[in-house]
Amino acid sequence: MLNIFARASVSRVLDPLGRALVRAGLSPNAMTVIGTAGAIVCAVVFFPNGMLLAGTFTVWGFAMLDLLDGAMARARGYGTPFGATLDATCDRLTDGAVFAGIAWWCFAVAGNLRAAAACLICLVLAQVISYLKARAEAEGLKADGGLIERAERLIIALVGTGLQGFGVPFAVEATLWLLAAGSIITTIQRMLAVAASAREAG
């Protein structure tokens, strides 16, 4: 949902930086890999060790690099099918690492089984929501939009870890249950969108 409203504003900010990085000799694919590797390492190192603030800010910083690959592709004047596939794959790896790291914190550090359950729900539905869109598009159907897309997913999860890191009790649990509910709604929204698209195509 944020993608619809924020894309133009974000592009205005990032496009000049994308052009500068392309002139410096970096490729969009390299930026994708750097951002993904950094986010994964930070998520699986900091969150399981209870370092919520360090995990929040470093994961967020590396996740922001994911926006730069698109800006760099626009600056270069074209994207590639391989680049799009790499980007989607890396997004799934980052999502998995972030929620796995938070789930580990919930189980091993906080001992909060309710939060851990919510985190596992978010982990599964994050993959399902993305798969739904990819599978629908492979069949020539549409499954765009929904309440919770990747940007919202990362924002909500990292707001929870950040607030908890600053000492707000139950922030992780509250935001994870909020995200789980939103993800369930989004899954239903996308299934309905696929059904509507199938009826139009038929």
User: What amino acid positions are annotated as catalytic residues?
Assistant: 91
Q: Are 165 and 53 contacting, i.e. CB atoms less than 8 angstroms apart?
A: yes
C-alpha Rg value of the chain to the nearest Å: 18
Task: Kindly provide the b/e burial profile for residues 133-155, where b requires at least 16 CB atoms within 10 angstroms of the residue's own CB.
Answer: beebeeeebbbeebbbbbbbbbb
Among 164, 153, 42, 43, residue whose Cα is nearest residue 102: 43
CA atoms within 13 Å, Cβ hemisphere of 102 = 34
Residue whose entry in the numeric block shows the structure tokens 């994308």: 18
Distance CA 148, CA 168 (A): 24
Distance CA 70, CA 74 (A): 6
